[in-house]
Amino acid sequence: MHNSNLEMSSPEYLHNAERILKELVRSGHRIVRASLRGNPVYIVTDMSLAKQIFEDARNFSFSPNPITEDDSLTDGVRAFIREGLESPLVSSSYDDYREIRNLFNQAFRHCVTNEMERIRALAKKHIATLLDGERGEHIDALALSRNYWLPLAADVIGLGSLSLAELHLLGDSARVLVEANGLHGDAESVKALAGANKTLIDAIQKVIDAGAAPHNSALGYLLEHVGPERALDVAFSFVLGGIDTGSSALALQTHLLAVNPDQREHFITLSETEQQNALTELASKESPTYYTLRFAVRDTRIDDFDIPAGSFLHLALYSLNNCANPDFDIRRDQPSACPAHRNETLPFGHARHRCPGETLARYLMPVFLNALFSRYGSVTVVSYKRLLNNFARSVSELILQVAPR
């Protein structure tokens, strides 16, 4: 398996990724060399090794642009970088990346730490209004999760002055960019990337020009501390990383509780803190990504592998977030919980590359799930589809049949 012939662009790989990752874990492999459309990629399936790579930002960076011209990158990846993610956060050197990442974290802490009660109150009012507007016995849960998450994320970022139509366009553009990880680099896909990129930038620029970013928002903090040009670039990363990823994760969690009625009933009896803790178990079963991408910044040796600069490393979240025990219990912190699991999952990353939005997600996702499942006693999944690419498993359809308690 160390000289694996896994071809990550093949239909067989895409449709059997979970089976392949399970087999890698079962076979005891920590890291496996595969190929992505003929180019090398290293799949990491071991928790301690993944954490090491998250920590080692100097050798394994999120920022691929310094190596954009490297022949090991596919046309699709180059298109994704140039047309979809052209910003200082992605195109920086390691030292610049570290500075911007720190700024990113500071801005997020500023807009969340002292505002959480206001944001939570807004979230509870917002989901109640959305549910009050539902008519009939069928709910489009994907649309519901997006309509819940989008304005809340926009409020935190500082884009709340945009109209609902503009916010939906913003969300659609973020989705295009997130899903573009599976690109083959054809002309139409690159054109779509460029259009989505421009939509995001124009929307943020509109708020900056109007002076409409609240002081207590991330964008307001950035404008005060680093000026409009840098603020726009960092806010772009907030939108890209938060809006579609958040709504996709919420839809996955909704589906998971919908098909597990015993866990659904457990969930609505938990305290708010316990519900936040339950997200770890939900994310371990239904993570919106198969992988977290990192790139080798320089030639590196790890776990007996010589990894050339420019190579992909895929931290395989599916395998990292799943133990061998098939039992599913959102209250894993109890003494009787699965001893192999112990909540050692990485749904929000680790260390320097940990998602700054983890605190917000742990507070806002349970508000949605609790409101939805407290209102409906009978919940049946009518239709569920996932959109698979090499890296993500976003929900493309989730229809629920419901009846009030």
In a domain, 6, yes or no: no
H-state helical runs in 16-163: 17-26, 47-55, 75-79, 88-91, 94-113, 116-132, 141-157
Give the model's pLDDT for residue 388: 66
Give the start-end residues of each E strand in 254-298: 291-296
CB atoms near residue 74 (< 10 Å):
18
Residue 3 forms part of a structural domain: no
- CA–CA separation, 108 and 158 (whole Å): 11
Q: How far is CA 237 from CA 11, 395, 401, in A?
A: 30, 22, 36
Q: What is the pLDDT of residue 37?
A: 58
What does the alpha-carbon distance between residue 290 and residue 318 come to, in Å, rounded to a whole number?
Answer: 5
Residue 5 lies in a domain: no
Q: Return the pLDDT at 1.
A: 41
Number of domains in the chain: 1
In the prediction, which pLDDT does 3 show? 45
State phi, psi for 404 to the nearest 5 degrees: -60, 160
CA distances from 150 to 175, 202, 236, 363, 370 (A): 12, 17, 15, 15, 18
130 in a structural domain: yes
The predicted-structure confidence for 130-178, as pLDDT tens digits, reads as follows: 999 998 999 999 999 999 999 999 999 999 999 988 988 888 887 776 6
The predicted structure's pLDDT at residue 275: 92
User: Which structure tokens are listed for 356?
Assistant: 């700054």
CA distance 103 to 116: 20
Q: What is the model's pLDDT at position 195?
A: 79
Range of the domain at 210: 11-404
Query: Please, what is the end-to-end C-alpha distance for the chain in angstroms?
Result: 52
What is the gyration radius of the CA atoms in the chain, in angstroms? Answer: 21
pLDDT score of 392: 64
Sequence-ordered alpha helix ranges (H) in 321-357: none
Residues of the chain with pLDDT under 70: 1-16, 36-39, 63-94, 177-190, 323-326, 333-344, 388-393
Over residues 57-91, the pLDDT tens digits come to 788 877 655 545 555 555 555 555 555 455 556 66
Whether residue 1 is contained in a domain is answered as: no
Distance, in Å, from the CA atom of 185 to the CA atom of 51, rounded to the nearest integer, reads 31
- What is the domain-level CATH number for residue 109? 1.10.630.10
What local confidence, expressed as pLDDT, does residue 316 receive?
84
For residue 285, being part of any structural domain is answered with: yes
Structural domain contains residue 159: yes
With respect to residue 244, please indicate whether it lies within any of the assigned structural domains: yes
User: pTM for the full model?
Assistant: 0.86
